Amino acid sequence: MRMAEQTLELDRDKPASTFSQRLAAGLAPLASFFRVFRNRMEINALHDLNDTQLRDIGLTRADLTSAFLASTFFEDPSEHLTRSARNRWRLSSFLRSCE
């Protein structure tokens, strides 16, 4: 008769994080804030483009306005613009395939 081997697993604490890991974790929210701020400035620069140039990248002036209205100050409006451009591209692709 064989005996099944049994092991006892103890809860072990996670290894202590290093100073650089703690520093990176502490600076992550600050880096995120600066990324959102930079993206807002870039979207503001899109207002300088004419309608044809905006259409070339799949956006409209209404998309720019709605991106700012749909996001709070601490949210990234570029995600909204990306969704708008992709949805417009999918719709145009669908309409072309129906012709």
State the Rg of the chain over Cα. Answer: 25
Q: Which two tokens stand for residue 76?
A: 């990234």
Question: HEC profile for 9-64?
Answer: CCCCCCCCCCHHHHHHHHHHHHHHHHHHHHHHHHHHHHCCCCHHHHHHCCCCHHHH
Q: Which two tokens stand for residue 57?
A: 């990248």
Q: For residue 49, what pLDDT is reported?
A: 93
pTM for this model (two decimals): 0.60
Contact 85, 57 (CB under 8 A): yes
pLDDT tens-place string over residues 39-66: 889 988 999 999 999 988 888 899 898 8
Kindly state the DSSP code that residue 77 receives in the 8-state scheme.
Answer: T
Q: For residue 85, what pLDDT is reported?
A: 86
Domain ranges in the chain?
Answer: 21-47
Could you tell me the pLDDT band of residue 9, with boundaries at 50, 70 and 90? low
